[in-house]
Chains A and B, each alone.
Chain A
Amino acid sequence: MTAVTDILHLLFTANLWQATLAAAVLLLLPALGGVISERSGVVNIAMEGMMLTGAFFGVVADLAWHNPLAATGVAMLAGALMATVHAVVSIQFRADQIVSGIAINIFAAGLTVFLVNRIYGLQDVGHVGQSELIPYINVPGLDQIPFLGKVLFQQNVIVYAALIILVLTHVVLFRTRLGLRIRAVGEHPQAADTAGINVFAIRYGAVITSGLLSGLSGAFLAIGISNTFVPNMTDGRGYIALAAMIFGKWTPGGAFIACLIFGLGQAIYDNNSIIHVSPYLLSMLPYLLTLIVLAGVVGRSTPPAADGLPYVPGSE
């Protein structure tokens, strides 16, 4: 039972929760992108590919310009570009949105490896210098609060940005006219169209936003946390974000809670040198937690009514 006491002991350290929040934010950004996209009625499983593309171009730009802010912008644009492909294919051409998403994920994995070989040859992708990484900033004053200061106010800039984006997403979706329109388009596009809402414009905007957010997460991964690009470095986070979105019933707050659970599992797993239990067993923890929570607490998760259905103007 030493493992249990080890974990309990860990739960009372600020380090653990600091790591939990950072790991959660990596998932939260693409999850929020997914929420926005699916609320507008476009199924989006391409977050993994958009994130990977963002990570790659973020590193390329940062190595070229030595400017993490500009590189983050490039990463977001790269993600948005991938999202635009998804939007054109699924909104304009009404293709199956799952297939389009899978195609983008596979394409992104191949494209980035191909470009790594093209740009950097078979050598290392360069390492981004410490000074050119997206900075960690301690919020003056607040970072001195015992425990919470370390968890909430000694973080990467992207973490603060993500928390602001979380609140914004919630407010926009549920408290503004735009949010109402997005949700209307996702629930009943025919009705929304009749009411004078431009269904295509709303859906394009939502899907591209998901690309921007996934790209931002890719930038955090590659030029915030790591200082280089490694093929397939996103390691399935886009899919976990997808799970978080469903787990959170397509709401920003719910997705955030799901991301925190996954993040906590990762943070606990990270301490497997100290916890005396098989690392394999430990790595199951977040998924085990998810199953328990899904079965016992969350209950039925219902997607937006028109999610995944292409809109054909004039159709019934």
Chain B
Amino acid sequence: MAHKRLKFLGVAAAVLMVAMACGGSPSGGGGTKQYKIGLVTDIGGLNDKSFNHLAYVGLEKAKSDFGIVDSVTESHSGNDYVPNLTSFASKNYDLVIGVGFLMQEAVGTVSGTFPNIHFAIIDGAGTDSTGKDLQHTNVQSLFFKEQDAGAMVGVISGMLEKQGKAKKNKGVISAVGGVSIPPVNHYIAGYKWAATMEDPGIKVEVGYSNDFTDPAKCQGVAKGQINDGSDILFQVAGGCGLGVLQAAGQAGLYSIGVDADQKAADPSVIASALKKVDVATYTAIQNVVKGQFKSGALTFSIANDGAGYAVDNLTLPADIQAELKTVQDKIKAGTLTPPADIP
């Protein structure tokens, strides 16, 4: 008896979970040719406050501008990627967008199965199991030069430190990365490079939380850096990184947000390094709607307004603002190139 009841309970729980997982709902209106765009998130989910969320923002903007039919599916594990992508592709969607580096192999597989469906992937390419780009002609890769954004906030940190306008002025700043992977390290590389350019004597500490979701872990790493003298802390760890912003706030120091404008996350946030996933998503959709889909890599950087920075809870002195503009122009013109690897 007990076991039967239990089995029923297990099945009921499973059904409930599946029902919750299927959150996406297609919607749309009338019109001429209606483009169907499908978005598949990675395991971060739509409210990761970071790239999945921004991709959704871009999708919504495209929806209001182009009257597309959109549908979103959230992935809850790595095993969901292929079925979720396949589901859209088999329904003849005009563009299927995979969000995130983690979906590379799935996009590679599904784009091979459906050569007539267009795919776009953010932060990655369609690859085989070894990570080699399969270069399918129906896949567009949307990459970012995170180092551009990192460099801009690095300029702010370096100059504040050099001018003695930070809080402790021991000449130490720091960054907390989630995991040591290319998109994270690009940010940190630009940050360290630019801070050192502005203040050659500066010490830039780099730590990793080994996590993207748990603020307490990032707070621990941030506290370690604060104990060592850091007074401007750059978070590159998604939801985990909120702990960095808060640790800086509690210690009365400055912090820098990442991906989206994190001004509201904590009063300590003086600037944010922006990776405009919304712009990239919107652009990819726009290309399809206008019949200009191109396979291969499309890179978003300061030059095409796909990366940038926001100044948040601090009014910067005029000379720092001027330097920001100079550096931004030089990066745009190609006379300054922030490195992709941490110097």
Contact = CB atoms under 8 A, between A and B. Distances in A.
Interface of A: 13, 15, 19, 23, 26, 89, 93-96, 99-100, 103, 106-107, 110-111, 113-114, 116-117, 120, 122-125, 127, 130, 221, 225-228, 230-235, 266-267, 269-274, 279-280, 283, 310
B38 interface: no
A238 B72 CA distance: 32
B223 A279 contact: no
B220 interface: yes
A26 B56 contact: no
A310 B2 contact: yes
Given A103-B9, A103-B13, A310-B2, A127 B215 contact: no
Contact of A273 (B16, B56, B225, B246): B225
Interface of B: 2-3, 5-6, 9-10, 13, 16-17, 20-21, 23, 45-49, 53, 56, 174, 176, 180, 205-208, 210-211, 213-217, 219-221, 223-225, 227-228, 239-240, 242-243, 246, 249-250, 264-266
A117 B23 contact: yes
A116 to B, nearest CB: 6
30 contacts: A15-B223, A15-B227, A19-B223, A95-B2, A100-B9, A107-B16, A120-B47, A122-B56, A123-B47, A127-B264, A127-B265, A225-B215, A226-B216, A226-B242, A226-B243, A227-B242, A228-B265, A231-B45, A231-B213, A233-B216, A235-B213, A267-B220, A270-B220, A270-B224, A271-B221, A272-B207, A272-B208, A273-B224, A279-B208, A310-B2
Q: Which secondary structure dominates chain B's binding surface?
A: helix
Given A270-B224, A272-B207, A106 B17 contact: yes
A89 B20 CA distance: 22
B214 A230 contact: yes
Contacts of B221: 270-273
B246 A227 contact: yes
A279 B250 contact: no
B9 A95 contact: yes
Given A228-B265, A272-B207, A279-B180, 11 more contacts: A23-B216, A125-B47, A130-B249, A226-B216, A226-B243, A231-B45, A233-B213, A270-B224, A271-B221, A273-B221, A280-B210
